[in-house]
Chain A
Amino acid sequence: MEFTLISLLNGLSYGLLLFMLSSGLTLIFSMMGVLNFAHASFYMVGAYLGYAISTTLGFWPALVIAPLVVGLIGAMIERYGLRTVHKYGHIPELLFTFGLSYVIVELIQVLWGRAAVPYKIPAVLDGPLFTLYTTAFPMYRGFMMLVALVMLAAIYLLLTRSRIGLVIQASLTHPDAVEALGHNVPRVFMLVFGGGCALAGLAGVIGGNAFVTEPAMAATVGSIIFVVVVVGGMGSLAGALLASILIGLLQTFAVALDWSLQSMLSHFGTQVAIDAPYYRIFSITLAELAPIMPYLLLVLILIFRPKGLLGKREG
């Protein structure tokens, strides 16, 4: 019971962090058709900026300033890079952001070195939030969940209740009509791209100190958020939320379980000999499988439900 509850909370907080990343990716994709390969790189930029600002101004200013700076960088990249490539089609756009991810990793290493930086959790949030039976739940995990939920509510309200949100939604489906009504659709695109990057930056600021801030962090999380977007259904925000939490829970639970086919067989009173062929397949544990769980899920989803959990169309 204790294990289930704690794993549930940890999985939820990890899943919500994944959602902060994949929501920006999904917004950009559904709006512009651009798959931003460098999205995880913006997450990394957010973490490093958060580290740099928190060492001089403190954590709370970093929480506000770093995402804004990342959003600004994203908007500039859209304006002066992506827009030039837009006329060639979606594949060159994807390639552009792919090249960008290379360049950003290198620039980060030039500025902050190749090793991890000591980005620490602020003292106020360091400590247990509550104790469940015997296990303490860290306060920072709770803070991460809170930020993610606030962000989720803010996006929802912005997209459905505000004027700019309505313009964004309309440009999603009818860009020409929106342009005819006098709105600057390219500027809306720039805003969305910058906004999506800012969300990734925010995730970086609060994720960077919960995990490790290092040059490899973009690569580790990058492929998982692509899995989230495909599993949830391309361009579906609700699907991204569902898939993020699913993958978060899946990984947290798997990592703590050392069940294997061998242990299952021993319930029935048999064993596979150590020298038997394919013994490795029987001895592999769920914990060892945890890193590949998202990709297995991706393959299964594609075989049984190719449009994704909440996707609308097959493409």
Chain B
Amino acid sequence: MTHRALHYTPINLGRWLVWTSFALILLIAPRVFASGSGLSILSQMGTMMIFALSYNMLLGQGGMLSFGHAVYSGLGAFFAIHAINLAGGGVLPIPLSLVPLVGGVAGMFFGMLFGYVTTKRSGTTFSMISLGIVELVFACSLMFPGFFGGEGGVAGNRVIGQPLFGISYGPQIQVYYLIAFWLFVSTVGMFAIAHTPLGRIANAVRDNPERVEFIGYNTQRVRYLMLILSAFFAGISGALSAINFEIVSAENVSALRSGAVLLFTFIGGIGFFFGPLLGAIVGVFLTVLLSEFTKAWQLYLGVFFILIVMYAPGGLASLIMMNLRIALYGRFRRILPSLLAITAASLLAFAGVVILIEMLYHLTLESANGTTMSLFGREVDTAVPSQWIVGVLALVFGAVAFRLSLRPFSAVWGEVNAEIEQLVLKAAK
């Protein structure tokens, strides 16, 4: 096998294309979803994307599973809202566009403080300590109502100072563009950090800390530095959410919020840089939109997460990339029939599960409002057994069909992937 020399290519066309189209999507998105709720959801997705990307700096790149990442974004948000209030009162001369930096620096400061303790250990112990820290900060936030505002939180008004070029940050669309700008800058920043020597050695620490120690690096310092940088971006996202909602409460530093970012990031996929972006979209979609339709959304989120952990540990991003690879090698047509069959079977089983869960929720939690409910636009009576049988039948048939189609699917899937591996090996030779 011969070694191919690496060439320095300052102008990487593919990369320029990807980043330009990312910027274009950010610019155009509010034109497509122009309604008030559309803009609000886009703004939430933007902040969640920064948060999830910063989380993935720990989990995906550094191998640190944190249960307490909301500490940094939440404390950043508190500092940002106080900065906004001070600026509004004329005490602090700072424009709103730069308030995210205040949040970022605050997040970074607490990253330095708490990270010193948490990064002393790695693996599962790190996870547990991060959970301890988030509980500590959450309990403290209720203990010092002067700074944290107690149960009600701290409110602010983001319209401060004179409008510049007609931008007052009053309308939601202007806030969206502020978030989009910081999202773009932070994404570029995090992508760049992933490719610095620090980012690379962080990957090595994730994969084999022992060997990294042997080549003379201090693994704890690598984890510590990654955590500080990640806390900086988390702080930015917290500040943006403070600007977006104009209120910050103890919930922002809770274990619940930390758990949410973990769920979203993992669902999106921790193995690819863009995975957390997908995860943020799906996560905000599930929490904001789905929670309006069904009371059981947390159950769906939990089950969806477990299924991803069990059957697609690379997340949605890896599912897309695996299918894309097959399509690139022109073999998508071969897996298509079995892929369609298995998708149809899963959808049928899923529909059955949804029917059963919705009826169960209605029966136990809302039985006071009568036994009828509307499901998929149809009136359903939870007291009638036949309705339950529909759900059970859909589930059983779907599950059986899934079992039957699983074997042919995995056979052709393995076959196609083995062929591609062969081609890749041949090309390398």
A126 vs B136: C-alpha distance in the bound complex, in angstroms? 35
Given contacts A90-B123, A90-B124, A315-B122, A98 and B262 within 8 Å (CB-CB): yes
* B63–A299 touching, CB < 8 Å: no
Tell me whether B313 and A280 are in contact (CB under 8 A). no
Alpha-carbon distance A111/B365, docked complex (angstroms)? 9
Task: Report yes or no: A219 in contact with B255, Cβ–Cβ below 8 A.
Answer: yes
Chain B minimum-CB-distance residue to A100: B306
List residues of chain A with CB within 8 A of the CB of B296.
106, 110
Residues of chain B within 8 A of A91, CB atoms compared: 63, 65, 123-124
B97-139 vs A, CB cutoff 8 Å, 1 = contact: the mask equals 0000000000000000000010011111101110111011001
A295 touches B313 (CB 8 A): no
Q: Which A residues are in CB contact (< 8 Å) with B305?
A: 95, 99, 102
The answer, among B133, B139, B365, for a CB contact under 8 Å with A291, is: B139
Whether the pair B365, A113 counts as a contact (CB closer than 8 A) is: yes
Q: Is the CB of B298 within 8 A of A299?
A: no
Judged by a CB distance under 8 angstroms, whether B299 is at the interface is yes
CA distance A105 to B143 in the complex (A): 27
Q: Known interface pairs A230-B125, A234-B125. Does A295 touch B136 (Cβ–Cβ under 8 Å)?
A: yes
Is B360 an interface residue when CB atoms closer than 8 A count as contact? yes
Q: Which residue of A has the minimal Cβ distance to B361? A: A110
Which residues on the A side are within 8 Å of B383 (C-beta)? Answer: none
CB of A226 within 8 Å of the partner chain? yes
List chain A residues, Cβ under 8 A from B139: 291-292, 295
Q: Give bound CA distance, A294 to B263, whole Å.
A: 26
- On whether A295 and B135 interact (CB within 8 A), knowing A84-B310, A110-B365, the answer reads yes
Interface residue ranges of B337-365 to A (CB < 8 Å): 360-361, 364-365
Pick the residue among B63, B132, B266 that contacts A223 (CB under 8 A): B132
Residue A165 CB within 8 A of the other chain: no
Q: Name the interface residues of B287-301: CB closer than 8 Å to any CB of A.
A: 296, 298-299, 301
Q: Is the CB of A315 within 8 A of B121?
A: yes
Q: Which residue from B131, B132, B255, B299 sits with its C-beta under 8 Å from A299? A: B132
Q: Digit string of A179-212 for contact with B (CB within 8 Å is 1, else 0)? A: 0000000000000000000000000000000000
Is the CB–CB distance between A94 and B361 below 8 Å? no
Bound CA–CA A35/B313 (angstroms): 18
Report if B321 contacts A (CB, 8 A).
no
- Is the beta-carbon distance between A85 and B302 smaller than 8 angstroms? no
* A103, B135: Cα distance in complex, Å: 21
**With A and B bound together, what is the CA distance between A96 and B361 in angstroms?**
24
B128 A229 Cβ-Cβ under 8 A: yes
Check B65–A99 contact: CB distance below 8 A: no
Residue A306 CB within 8 A of the other chain:
yes
Assuming the contacts A292-B139, A295-B135, A302-B117, asked whether A85 and B309 have C-beta atoms less than 8 A apart, the reply is yes
Q: Check A85 against B310 for contact (C-beta < 8 Å).
A: yes
Knowing A102-B298, A106-B302 are in contact, say whether A306-B120 is a contact too (CB < 8 A): yes
Q: Are A292 and B365 in contact (CB under 8 A)?
A: no
Task: Determine whether the beta carbon of A95 is less than 8 Å from that of B309.
Answer: yes
A96 touches which one: B128, B135, B309 (CB < 8 A)? B309
Q: How many residues of A contact B (CB 8 A)?
A: 49
- B259 CB within 8 Å of chain A: yes
| B10 at interface by CB-CB < 8 Å | no
Query: Is A312's CB within 8 Å of the partner chain B?
Result: no
A268 within 8 A of B: no
B303 within 8 Å of A (CB atoms): yes
Interface string of A290-306 (1 = CB under 8 A from B): 01101110110011001
Is A88 interfacial (CB-CB < 8 Å)?
Answer: yes
Within 8 A of B (CB), among A39-61: none
Q: What chain A residues lie within 8 Å of B259 (beta carbons)?
A: 98, 102
In the assembled complex, the Cα of A94 lies from the Cα of B299 at a distance in Å of 18
Let me know if A92 is at the binding interface, CB within 8 A.
yes
B214 touches A (CB below 8 Å)? no
Q: Are A223 and B135 in contact (CB under 8 A)?
A: yes
Contact of B136 among A95, A98, A219, A292 (CB under 8 A): A292
Docked complex Cα distance between A114 and B65 (Å): 30
Digit string of B39-80 for contact with A (CB within 8 Å is 1, else 0)?
A: 000000000000000000000000101010000000000000
Q: How far is the CA of A110 from the CA of B128 in the complex (A)?
A: 29
A109 an interface residue at 8 Å Cβ cutoff? Answer: yes
Asked if residues A102 and B301 are in contact (CB atoms below 8 Å), the reply is yes
Quick one: which of A100, A103, A105, A223 contacts B131, CB cutoff 8 A? A223
> If A229-B128, A302-B117 touch, does A295 touch B133 (CB 8 Å cutoff)?
yes
User: Is B165 close to A, CB under 8 A?
Assistant: no
| Closest CB pairs A-B (n = 8) | A102-B302, A295-B136, A106-B299, A99-B306, A103-B302, A99-B305, A226-B128, A35-B124
Show the binding face of B for A, using Cβ within 8 Å.
Answer: 63, 65, 67, 117, 120-125, 127-129, 131-133, 135-136, 139-140, 143-144, 146, 255, 259, 262-263, 266, 296, 298-299, 301-303, 305-306, 309-310, 313, 360-361, 364-365
Contacts A/B (CB < 8 Å), 21 sampled: A29-B124, A35-B128, A85-B310, A91-B65, A91-B124, A98-B259, A102-B299, A103-B303, A110-B360, A110-B361, A219-B255, A223-B135, A227-B132, A234-B124, A280-B146, A284-B143, A292-B139, A295-B132, A302-B117, A302-B129, A306-B120
10 additional A-B pairs beyond A98-B67, A111-B364, A226-B132, beta carbons within 8 Å, are A85-B309, A95-B262, A102-B259, A102-B299, A110-B365, A223-B131, A226-B131, A234-B124, A295-B139, A315-B121
Name A residues whose Cβ lies closer than 8 Å to a Cβ of B: 29, 33, 35, 81, 84-85, 88, 90-92, 94-96, 98-100, 102-103, 105-107, 109-111, 113-114, 219, 223, 226-227, 229-230, 234, 280, 284, 288-289, 291-292, 294-296, 298-299, 302-303, 306, 314-315
